[in-house]
Structure 1
Amino acid sequence: MRVLHAVTLHSPTHAFGGPVRVALNLAKGLRARGHEANLLALGEGFPEPWPTSVEGVPAKLFPARRLLPLGFSGMTSPALLASAGRLVRGADVVHVHLARDLVTLPVALAALRAGKPLVLQTHGMVDPSAKLLAKVLDAVAVRRLLRGADALLYLTPHEREGLDAVAGAPLPNAVRLVNGTPAQEERPAPSGPPRILYSARLQARKRPVDFVDAAPAVLAVHPDAEFVVAGPDEGELAAVRARITELGLSARFTVPGALSGTEVLTELRRAHVYVLPSVDEPFPMSVLEALSVGVPSVVTHSNGLARDIARAGAGRAVDPGPAGVAEAVLSLLDPAENATTSKAARELASSAFSMDAVLDTLLGVYEDTSR
């Protein structure tokens, strides 16, 4: 089966975050099972010559052009738009990681016009919005795509409700597909000073400053603790650095910027605890990756993984804000609790979020759309 995965942007800094990681994990899993899976995306920040594959997945990357000052929504490529029809016609299934942007919307529309089986996966990026641009795009393209796709993959009941609301009617083509994570080597038993990690985009919704503000309470008990704030900047880097300086904690923090996939796993294997203090996070890949190597994780209650983590004893779910984060981190730094929670994290990742289970579901969806 030839599957084309279309996602908005791939860059060396992994600026687009989780949707690219999901697309790559699925494409790699499909290829391991003998299918032909390729990646289509904008590219930005690569030195010449540009890559023709990403992590072993053949990739067609088009240089990004920023037409409007709207972040990812204002990026496109005339060459990609001109090639979209040809590229979708060469696939048996077109799997679009849909956002309200000028990349994934045109590719999905091209697949619809070509009569190709179309699978949409929105990653929480398409939800009811009062913004004018969102309303325009919904009227012009999004609603038509949600109703016309052969399958629509969603993560949580909340996301499903939002998609029904955007479409203006219940969507009978919706199928729940959780994010999966490849099996990883277990981290070694933590040693040395406590090391607490944040690894995600530095974006207001993800609240990296809450992570910084939790540090003093942790340091009051563990004065040798080390904190890492990793990830590409999406507007919060200056605030993070300023708060670290205001608290006089420059010696206790490392801010390495964006990390590659391999570098993220290296940091996770050194971490005692992983923290993602974001609110309304649908289904974060960074937390799944932490669980897969056995790092106890702290999330807020609005995180799509919060109930699973709390139920399995794989970490802590807390109210938003630094106080809850600090209390949770301190409890997980207890050696016995850390060991127990680490084992539960690994078990949760392998039982509920394995790539094999996700791929079994996805291939069933593909087969149904191709009939």
Structure 2
Amino acid sequence: MKALHVVTLHTPTHEFGGPTRVALNLCRGLRAQGEQAALVALGDGFPPGGLPRRVEGVPARLFAARHVLPRFEVSGITSPGLLTAAPRLVRSADVVHVHLMRDLVTLPVAMMAARMGRPLVLQTHGMIDPTRNRVAQAVDVLGLRRVLRRADAVLHLTPAERELTAAVVAPHRTGPAYRLVNGVTPQPMRPARPEGGPPTVLYCARVQEGKRPQDFVAALPTVLERHPDARFVLAGPDTGALVGELLALARRMGVGHALEYVGALDHADVIERLRSADVYVLPSIQDAFSVSVLESLSVGLPVVVTRTSGLAPDVAAAGAGRVVDNAPGDPDNGRRVGRAVLDLLDPAANAAASQAAWRLARDSFTLDAVVSTLRGVYAAVRERVSAAPVRRPPRQPSGRRPARVP
């Protein structure tokens, strides 16, 4: 089976974060289980002529990004080359799996696949919900609602995401809904921190407003009062241009010496940072099912997450970390995060949460299990399409051979 995964963007510093990481993980997992899977995306930030043909072992067709609507950031980039090649790539795939957002890449490809009658799976990553933005509303009318209704499967991470996506097309219904959680490759348990060594608290995600890195920084005074030697490490691409403000905030609070920004990391460095930390903090109010939190759990690193996180119930039930309330503008956010970190720096609590985190990832969120579920969805989708007489494959244009999935 040939599965074509279409995602908006890949960069050397992984600035697009979760959707691209999930797409790569799923492609790699599918290939490990004997399927053919490839990635199609825009590439940005690479040297001229330097677009890779494989990403972390996954065959990839990357097309140079053009920033045609800069004010819309990632939603305003596209590639004429990708859109020209897309019909042939779609035609050659057995399943077209689109990591959908309101943009000029994934939405046009999804519309093509639906129009051509190809088996279409949409995965929304918590990015498709009702909006008051007029431009986004126009996008919904012009195509988004149509592809959500015509899709052969619409994947959601949580029941809340399914309801929000359904509200976009109401009073109509989306295509058949399936739950697919994110998964990670099992990792060895991280080593215990040497007794008496300085603790390390880690944030490793895109540095942008919705992930609330300012609440990570605001937790420093609370933690340093009890652990004056603690180190706070801020890692990830500065997609919100916030790092300068965060470092200045730490200096104003008199704790700048304890905060280090290490920039964007490749995946191997991310895992190494997780293995060497004592607590992972992600105070995000926008993540439906954070891959970075899952990767933390996979190495046995206790986590501090917000109650709105899709993983919060699992973390709380397993005892794999702490769950905190976090509302934008609440001056107590930092203190709440700091108190949760202090709880997990207690040696006995840290050891218990570490074991619980590692077991949770192994028992509930392995990539192999997720990919097996996805293959079942693909089988149902292909059966549904083959049984539908109205969905005929389009005629091949004369004189042209279809592009092959890489």
Mapped pair 1:296 → 2:302:
yes
Q: Give me the whole-angstrom Cα distance separating, in 2, the residues matched to 1:270 and 1:57.
A: 28
- Paired residues, number: 371
Superposition map of 1:112-151 within 5 A: 112-151=114-153
Mapped pair 1:353 → 2:365:
yes
The question of whether the paired residues in 2 share the 8 Å contact of 1:3 and 1:95 is answered with yes
Q: Give me the whole-angstrom Cα distance separating, in 2, the residues matched to 1:60 and 1:245.
A: 44
> 2:324 pairs with 294, 318, 327, which one?
318
Q: Give me the whole-angstrom Cα distance separating, in 1, the residues matched to 2:19 and 2:64.
A: 19
Q: Post-superposition shift, 1:359? A: 1.1
Q: Give me the whole-angstrom Cα distance separating, in 1, the residues matched to 2:156 and 2:364.
A: 16
Mapped pair 1:31 → 2:31:
yes
> What's the secondary structure of 1:41's corresponding residue?
strand
Q: Give me the whole-angstrom Cα distance separating, in 2, the residues matched to 1:66 and 1:249.
A: 39
2:227 aligned residue: 222
Q: Post-superposition shift, 1:356? A: 1.7
What is the TM-score of this pair, normalised by structure 1?
0.98
Superposition map of 1:28-177 within 5 A: 28-47=28-47, 48-68=49-69, 69-168=71-170, 169-171=172-174, 173-177=176-180
Q: Give me the whole-angstrom Cα distance separating, in 1, the residues matched to 2:121 and 2:86.
A: 16
The question of whether the paired residues in 1 share the 8 Å contact of 2:151 and 2:175 is answered with no
> What's the secondary structure of 1:351's corresponding residue?
helix
> 2:311 pairs with 305, 316, 331, which one?
305
Q: Give me the whole-angstrom Cα distance separating, in 1, the residues matched to 2:248 and 2:64.
A: 34
1:213 aligned residue: 218
Mapped pair 1:14 → 2:14:
yes
Mapped pair 1:260 → 2:260:
no
Mapped pair 1:286 → 2:319:
no
Amino acid at match of 2:201: I
Q: Post-superposition shift, 1:257? A: 1.0
Q: Post-superposition shift, 1:116? A: 0.9
Deviation per residue, 1:16-70 (Å, 9 max, x gap): 0101110011000000011110000000111243210000000001111111111
The question of whether the paired residues in 2 share the 8 Å contact of 1:280 and 1:304 is answered with no
The question of whether the paired residues in 1 share the 8 Å contact of 2:113 and 2:120 is answered with yes
> 1:366 pairs with 365, 373, 378, which one?
378
The question of whether the paired residues in 2 share the 8 Å contact of 1:188 and 1:269 is answered with yes
- Structure 1: gaps spanning 5 or more residues: none
Mapped pair 1:247 → 2:253:
yes
Q: Give me the whole-angstrom Cα distance separating, in 2, the residues matched to 1:211 and 1:361.
A: 35
Q: Give me the whole-angstrom Cα distance separating, in 2, the residues matched to 1:357 and 1:317.
A: 26
Bigger CA drift: 302-311 or 243-252? Answer: 243-252
Aligned identity (percent) is 57
The question of whether the paired residues in 2 share the 8 Å contact of 1:84 and 1:106 is answered with no
- Structure 2: gaps spanning 5 or more residues: 327-332, 384-406
2:342 aligned residue: 330
Cα RMSD (Å): 1.0
Q: Post-superposition shift, 1:275? A: 0.2
Amino acid at match of 1:179: N
Q: Give me the whole-angstrom Cα distance separating, in 1, the residues matched to 2:286 and 2:50.
A: 39
Amino acid at match of 2:320: A
Mapped pair 1:197 → 2:202:
yes
Q: Give me the whole-angstrom Cα distance separating, in 1, the residues matched to 2:147 and 2:365.
A: 28
Report runs of 4+ in structure 1 exceeding 6 Å deviation. none
Q: Give me the whole-angstrom Cα distance separating, in 1, the residues matched to 2:372 and 2:81.
A: 34
Q: Give me the whole-angstrom Cα distance separating, in 2, the residues matched to 1:170 and 1:142.
A: 13
Q: Give me the whole-angstrom Cα distance separating, in 2, the residues matched to 1:294 and 1:285.
A: 14
The question of whether the paired residues in 1 share the 8 Å contact of 2:302 and 2:321 is answered with yes
Of the two structures, which has the highest relative contact order with CA contacts closer than 8 Å and spacing of 6 or more? 2
Deviation per residue, 1:190-236 (Å, 9 max, x gap): 23210000011111111101100100110000000000011111222
Q: Post-superposition shift, 1:280? A: 3.6
Q: Give me the whole-angstrom Cα distance separating, in 1, the residues matched to 2:211 and 2:261.
A: 16
The question of whether the paired residues in 1 share the 8 Å contact of 2:148 and 2:175 is answered with no
> What's the secondary structure of 1:181's corresponding residue?
coil
Q: Post-superposition shift, 1:172? A: 5.2
Q: Post-superposition shift, 1:171? A: 3.0
> What's the secondary structure of 1:364's corresponding residue?
helix
> What's the secondary structure of 2:237's corresponding residue?
coil
Q: Give me the whole-angstrom Cα distance separating, in 2, the residues matched to 1:43 and 1:35.
A: 24
Amino acid at match of 2:67: R
**Rg (Cα) greater in structure:** 2
Q: Post-superposition shift, 1:360? A: 1.4
The question of whether the paired residues in 2 share the 8 Å contact of 1:276 and 1:299 is answered with yes
